[in-house]
């Protein structure tokens, strides 16, 4: 008996064999385009009918913030999963995928530079280079934080290309701290509490999102048993990360929307609508994570968990875009 399945890489007499890599690349491009549309078109959609006024250039700012968040997730996830891999027996002997950290640092540097130019023009989108007051960045808290992020991504890129890429953890930590401080100005009640919540939330989100992406890339190079062990170890840590993200997200939301006004503001304000969309995306991600974990434990082939994990990382990308959108919308008034 002979097999009728065509051999991979060998042309079929009835036609060419489609390349799986090309289909995967098209899917990634579609997801990236969809993720870019969320911050670009999201502000006008979220503000529609609320009576609130959005900041000039909110779509562009949300897109830059989304790129910055994604650029943070990728190297953080690589450092995280590489550390997990080293903790497994024989993990250091397996090959690792090519690092995306230098490219992520370049994208993060460009996004941080664009956001710094907005701060340098009084939180307005500059029309000309002459409108940018670079020296004025040193005179304000937001300006100093913007400069810190620009320099941190530059240093992270240099560290990623050095012989000790693990040193990029320090400039990446500086980006997280700067984002936590920027999100909570000193004029709001309890800014340090809000910054601490954002610090934990952003760190765990970067570990979860970037870690899953790098884990899936690593599985393509690891044999079955070792790959299943790595995915299982990541899944156990991801459960803790999800709990921390949920707890800090709820606390941060209640600080900006008192419990008695949450339901009304979730549908009546732009921030609430974007937050509701993010919550729904995270709920989908959690369901996919549970599905992948059940397959990992009960399926005859644990690596069948890769399918829901791929869907999970795609929805996580949309959640990152929703997070970028949230930063460009007006914070709801505490009624």
Output the pLDDT for position 228: 87
Are 136 and 120 in contact, with CB atoms under 8 Å apart?
Answer: yes
- Whose CA is closest to 82, among 209, 218, 226, 194? 218
CA neighbor of 224 nearest in space, from 288, 309, 306: 306
Q: Where does the chain have alpha helices with state H?
A: 20-47, 58-87, 101-120, 141-160, 169-182, 191-219, 224-256, 262-268, 270-298, 306-327
- Contact between 310 and 323 under an 8 Å Cβ cutoff? The reply is no
3-class secondary-structure state, position 15: strand
Tell me the per-residue pLDDT of 127-153, one tens digit each, with 9 for 90 and over.
Answer: 777 778 888 888 899 999 999 999 999
3-state SS assignment for residue 328: coil
- Using alpha carbons, select from 161, 139, 165, 175 the residue that is nearest to residue 65: 175
* Burial degree of 267 (CB within 10 A; 0-12, 13-18, 19+): exposed
Q: Could you give the CA distance from residue 210 to residue 75 in angstroms, rounded to a whole number? A: 7
> Residue holding tokens 């502000």?
43
Cα distance between residue 132 and residue 116, in whole Å: 9
Separation of alpha carbons 56 and 40, rounded Å = 12
Tokens of 255: 């600080």
> Which letter, b or e, does each residue of 234-252 get, where b requires 16 or more Cβ atoms within 10 Å of its Cβ?
bbeebeebbebbeebbeeb
What is the per-residue pLDDT across 260-281, written as a single tens digit (0 to 9) for each? 888 888 888 999 999 999 999 9
Task: Spell out, as residue ranges, where the chain has pLDDT lower than 50.
Answer: 1-19, 335
């Amino acid at each position: 008996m002979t097999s009728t399945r065509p051999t991979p890489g060998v042309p079929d007499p009835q036609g060419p064999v489609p390349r799986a890599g090309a289909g995967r690349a098209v899917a990634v491009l579609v997801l990236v385009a969809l993720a870019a549309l969320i911050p670009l078109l999201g502000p006008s959609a979220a503000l529609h009918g609320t009576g609130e006024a959005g900041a000039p250039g909110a779509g562009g700012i949300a897109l830059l913030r989304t790129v910055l968040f994604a650029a943070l997730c990728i190297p953080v996830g690589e450092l995280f999963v590489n550390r997990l891999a080293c903790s497994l027996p024989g993990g250091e002997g397996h090959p690792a995928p090519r690092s995306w950290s230098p490219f992520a640092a370049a994208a993060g540097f460009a996004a941080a530079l664009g956001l710094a130019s907005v701060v340098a023009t009084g939180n307005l989108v500059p029309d000309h280079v002459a409108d940018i007051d670079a020296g004025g960045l040193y005179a304000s808290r937001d300006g100093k934080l913007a400069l810190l992020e620009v320099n941190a991504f530059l240093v992270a890129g240099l560290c990623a290309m050095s012989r000790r890429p693990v040193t990029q953890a320090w400039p990446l930590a500086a980006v997280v701290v700067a984002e936590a401080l920027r999100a909570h100005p000193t004029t709001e009640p309890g800014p340090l509490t809000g910054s601490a919540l954002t610090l934990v939330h952003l760190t765990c989100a970067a570990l979860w999102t970037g870690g899953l992406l790098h884990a899936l890339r690593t599985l393509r190079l690891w044999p079955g048993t070792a790959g299943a062990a790595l995915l299982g170890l990541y899944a156990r840590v991801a459960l803790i990360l999800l709990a921390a993200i949920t707890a800090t997200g709820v606390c941060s939301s209640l600080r900006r929307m008192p419990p008695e006004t949450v339901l009304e503001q979730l549908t009546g304000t732009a921030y609430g609508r974007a937050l509701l969309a993010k919550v729904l995306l995270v709920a989908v991600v959690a369901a996919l994570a549970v599905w992948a974990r059940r397959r990992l434990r009960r399926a005859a082939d644990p690596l069948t968990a890769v399918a829901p994990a791929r869907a999970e990382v795609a929805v996580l990308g949309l959640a990152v875009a929703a997070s970028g959108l949230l930063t460009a919308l007006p914070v709801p008034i505490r009624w």
